[in-house]
Amino acid sequence: MMFLPNLLMWAASGLAAMWKLVQLVRVPRDNWLRIVVVCTVMVFLALSAQLMVGAAGSSEVFPGQSPKLIQNVILTLFFALLIVLLQSAVSPVAKPKHGWIEVAIALLTCLALISTFASIDSDVGAVNYEDAGQTPGLLAFYALGNLYMSYATARGAHLAWTASDHTRSRARLSLRLASAGLAVNCIGTHIPRVVSTSGRLLLGIDPIPGTETWTTPILAIGIIAFFVGIGYPGGRTLVVKIRLWFEARRDYRKLRPLWSALSSQFPEIALFPPVHPLREMLHFRSMRFRYYRRIIECRDGLVSLSPYIADLGDDKTIIRQAELVRDAIVRRSEGRGPVSEASVIAAPAVSGMEADVQELLALACAWRKFSDRVGNSAV
C-alpha cells in the first residue's frame, strides 16, 4: 500500500537530480550548484534504498535489510549539508563553526542509528516503519531517526523561509515552496512518528494510532513540494525555452517560401544548403540559430534584389510589396536589367529586431499567394 507514495517520492527526487546534473554540466564551476547536486543525488540514493527495502526478495540480496540503514544515514547527512547551505545563504558572514556543529550533530545521529540498527534481533524480518509494531530495537531506531528529522526539517524550513526574504521574486517562490514541503514533513510525519514510537517504546501504548498508514502519503506530499521548490526556477526557464523553440520553428517554416525564392536567385546568401521541406521538418537542433539565420538571409536577399524592384509609389501595402518582389524575381530570371538604384522592401515602422522580423513574416505570408507563379518550391 505504501509502494505508490514511495515510488512518487523516488521519481520526484530522480527528476530533480537529473535536472540539477544537467545544470551542473552547463555551469561546472558553480560551487553552490555543486552542493545542491550533491544534496539531490543523496536524496535520490536514499529513496532508492527505501525502494530496495520494500522490493520482493530484498532480504536475500541485502541481509539484515541494510538499505534501510543506508537510507537513514544518507538522509541525515543530506539534511546536515542542506542546513549548512541555507545558513550560508541567510548569513554569508556566519562563523564556520556553526556548519561544523551541524555536521557533528549529523555524525552523532548516524552513529546512534548504526548502533541501534545493529542491536535489532536478526530474526526480525521487515524493517520498514510500518512493520515496527512493538519491536524495541526498531522503535528506538525510528525514534532516533525521526527525532533528528524533526529537528532538521523544522530548522531547514525556517532557514529556507528566511533566505527567501533576501532573494529576488523567482528564487523567493522556490525557497518558500521548499520551506513549505519541509514544514509538511516535520508537522505531518516526523513529529507524529517521534511521539508514536516513543510512546510505544517507553509506555507500551501508541499515543497517535495509525502513523504507519497516514504519515507516508503526507511525507510524499512534502518531498514532492520540496523538490518542486528546488526545481521551480529551472523548470520555469525550461518552459520558456520550449515555448521560444516552438515559436522559432513556426516562424522558420513561415519564412521558407520567401527564403526559397530569394536563395534560388542569390545562393551566396544561404549558410545552409536548401533541403527538401520534409527533411527540413526533421531539423530540431539549433532551431533559434537557424531561425535568426533565415531572417538575416531573407533581408540580405531583399537587399540584393532591390535594384530589380520597381518603385513602390503610393501603395505600400504588404500585398503590393509581395507583388513587386515577385515581378523583380521574374525580371531577374529573364535576364532583364535593374530598374532602380535600390528599393526598400518590408521596412519596419520602428527600429528594432522584432519589428523587422514581423515585417518579414508579413511579407512571407503575402508571398505565398504568388509563389507558384515564380516556380517557388515552398510548401
Alpha carbon of residue 293 to chain centroid: 28
- pLDDT over 50 at 342, yes or no: yes
Bigger pLDDT: 21 vs 243: 243
Tens-place pLDDT, residues 7-40: 777 787 788 788 778 878 887 877 667 777 777 7
Please compute the mean of the pLDDT values over residues 262-285 and round it to a whole number.
Answer: 87
Q: What is the pLDDT of residue 284?
A: 85
Instruction: Dump the DSSP string for 60-80.
Output: HHSGGGHHHHHHHHHHHHHHH
- pLDDT over 90 at 121, yes or no: no
Alpha carbon of residue 88 to chain centroid: 24
Please compute the mean of the pLDDT values over residues 291-302 and round it to a whole number.
Answer: 92
Tens-place pLDDT, residues 165-205: 877 766 788 889 999 999 999 999 999 999 999 999 898 89
Q: What is the pLDDT of residue 108?
A: 95
- Per-residue pLDDT band for 50 (boundaries 50, 70, 90) equals low
- pLDDT over 70 at 58, yes or no: no
- Per-residue pLDDT band for 67 (boundaries 50, 70, 90) equals confident
Q: What is the pLDDT of residue 183?
A: 96
- Per-residue pLDDT band for 268 (boundaries 50, 70, 90) equals very high
- Per-residue pLDDT band for 62 (boundaries 50, 70, 90) equals very low
Please compute the mean of the pLDDT values over residues 324-334 and round it to a whole number.
Answer: 88
Q: What is the pLDDT of residue 374?
A: 47
Q: What is the pLDDT of residue 188?
A: 95
- Per-residue pLDDT band for 119 (boundaries 50, 70, 90) equals confident
Among all chains, which residue has been given the C-alpha cell 556553526? 98
Task: Cell numbers for 258, please give them.
Answer: 520567401
* Contact (Cβ atoms closer than 8 angstroms) between residue 220 and residue 261: no
Q: What is the pLDDT of residue 195?
A: 95
The number of beta carbons lying within 10 Å of the beta carbon of residue 250 is 11
Q: What is the pLDDT of residue 61?
A: 44
Please compute the mean of the pLDDT values over residues 53-72 and round it to a whole number.
Answer: 60
Q: What is the pLDDT of residue 244?
A: 92
* Contact (Cβ atoms closer than 8 angstroms) between residue 255 and residue 298: yes
Lowest mean pLDDT, pick from 97-101, 138-142, 256-260, 295-299: 97-101
How far is Cα 365 from Cα 325, in angstroms, rounded to an integer? 13
CA distances from 306 to 148, 303, 331, 343, 368 (A): 76, 5, 12, 5, 19
Instruction: Dump the DSSP string for 274-335.
Output: ---HHHHTT--TTHHHHHHHHHHHHHHHHHHHGGGSPP-TT---HHHHHHHHHHHHHHHHTT
Burial letters 145-181, b for 16+ CB under 10 A, else e: bbbbbbbbbbbbbbbbbbbbeeeeeeeebbbbbbbbb
Please compute the mean of the pLDDT values over residues 331-338 and round it to a whole number.
Answer: 86
Among all chains, which residue has been given the C-alpha cell 510512546? 199
Bigger pLDDT: 140 vs 238: 140
How far is Cα 133 from Cα 138, in angstroms, rounded to an integer? 8
How far is Cα 262 from Cα 300, in angstroms, rounded to an integer? 9
Tens-place pLDDT, residues 201-241: 898 899 998 898 899 899 989 988 988 887 787 778 888 88
Q: What is the pLDDT of residue 243?
A: 92
Bigger pLDDT: 260 vs 353: 260
Task: Cell numbers for 137, please give them.
Answer: 530495537
Q: How high does pLDDT run on average in the chain?
A: 82
- pLDDT over 50 at 378, yes or no: no
- Per-residue pLDDT band for 63 (boundaries 50, 70, 90) equals very low
Amino acid letter for position 206 = D
- pLDDT over 80 at 256, yes or no: yes
* Contact (Cβ atoms closer than 8 angstroms) between residue 258 and residue 294: no
